Structure 1
Amino acid sequence: MRKYLLSFFLILISFDSMNSLMPPLFRKFNVEIVNLLGFNKKLKVHCKSGSHDFPITYLNSGEKFQFQFTILLTTLYWCNLWQGPNYKHHVVFDAFLPDKDFIDGTCTGMHRNVCSWIAEEDGIYVINKQFQGEYFMYRWDAPSKNTSTGALASEYEFRNT
């Protein structure tokens, strides 16, 4: 009997360890992108995954684009953002990864079940409720004919909200 209890206990510990490494599968999650660009600039937004391609959306200053999905092991969303009015400044970034570190660290966990990205004049920030502020994540690309991925901020900048 003692051997069975020990085996049962070890199985429980292994499930708990696995849950701490795995994303919360099959739970609903949200991504939102907010336009806080200055000078009433519009923000052009195009988000997609391997299986879903959202239509291009134009956000006025203060507006947000939001979508909801169910977390699976293969869930990955990335977004392209362009600054108006001429849309030459561009950034592309991973808006959601099915990774527990990304969900808990970048998006501040499942308690809010939303990852909030903010477009501002100097780049893209993510809201981090754990530290009650915003983290600077990506710089806008300089205008060019061939814009690819956004430049990761060389040093994360923390700003209280």
Structure 2
Amino acid sequence: MPPLFRKFNVEIVNKLGFNKKLKVHCKSGSHDFPITYLNIGESFQFKFTILLTTLYWCNLWQGPNYKHHVVFDAFLPDKDFIDGTCTGMHPNVCMWIAKEDGAYVLNKKFHGEYFMYKWDAPTRNTSEVAPANEYEFNHV
């Protein structure tokens, strides 16, 4: 069981090289954050209360042309995700880091940044999507 009714944070950090901007769009089934553009070293953070239905996913695009894209589950209401993927309830944050080769998560089990997702190859269609399991969970 996840730690229900506790506060939690998700943070996205731009650590891309070559002074590239990062385009960020995070949402859930009930909340859609505005698209945000981050300069090198800047971060986007949101806070929420953990419920059984609390699911957030994020789309990231690597500037300057925003053709490299990645979509991932930024938070799942699962104890294994909170403790295994993120840093647990202390300090109650899941920090995602965008780098040149993909998206990393700060993970205390591995004592630092852990590689999670590679950027998609650039295509003409880089529209937003939800992760496959996210779509099924919210729309079944």
Partner of 1:61: 40
- Indicate the larger mover: 77-86 or 122-131: 122-131
Point out 4+ residue stretches in structure 1 off by more than 6 angstroms: none
Distance (whole Å) between structure 2 residues aligned to residue 109 and residue 35 of structure 1: 22
Tell me whether 1:119 sits opposite 2:95 in the alignment: no
Partner of 2:121: 142
Aligned residue among 58, 65, 71 for 1:92 = 71
The aligned runs of 1:14-93 (5 Å cut-off) are: 22-93=1-72
Q: Give the % identical residues.
A: 87
CA RMSD of the aligned region, Å?
1.3
**SS state at 2:109 partner:** helix
Runs of 5+ consecutive residues of structure 1 not aligned to the other structure: 1-21, 151-161
Distance (whole Å) between structure 1 residues aligned to residue 36 and residue 110 of structure 2: 30
**SS state at 1:146 partner:** coil
Distance (whole Å) between structure 2 residues aligned to residue 128 and residue 110 of structure 1: 12
The structure with more helix, counted as a fraction of residues: 1
TM-score after normalising by structure 1: 0.77
- Kindly tell me the number of residue pairs found equivalent between the two proteins: 129
For residues 77-108 of structure 1, the C-alpha deviation after alignment (integer angstroms, 9 at most, x for no partner) is 00000000000000000000000100010002
Check whether the contact 1:103–1:109 (CA below 8 A) recurs between aligned residues. yes
Distance (whole Å) between structure 2 residues aligned to residue 103 and residue 52 of structure 1: 20
Higher relative CO (Cα under 8 Å, sequence separation at least 6) belongs to 2
1:104 maps to amino acid: D
Runs of 5+ consecutive residues of structure 2 not aligned to the other structure: 132-140
Q: C-alpha displacement at 1:133, in angstroms?
A: 1.2
Check whether the contact 2:11–2:45 (CA below 8 A) recurs between aligned residues. yes
Distance (whole Å) between structure 1 residues aligned to residue 103 and residue 75 of structure 2: 14
Check whether the contact 2:57–2:130 (CA below 8 A) recurs between aligned residues. no
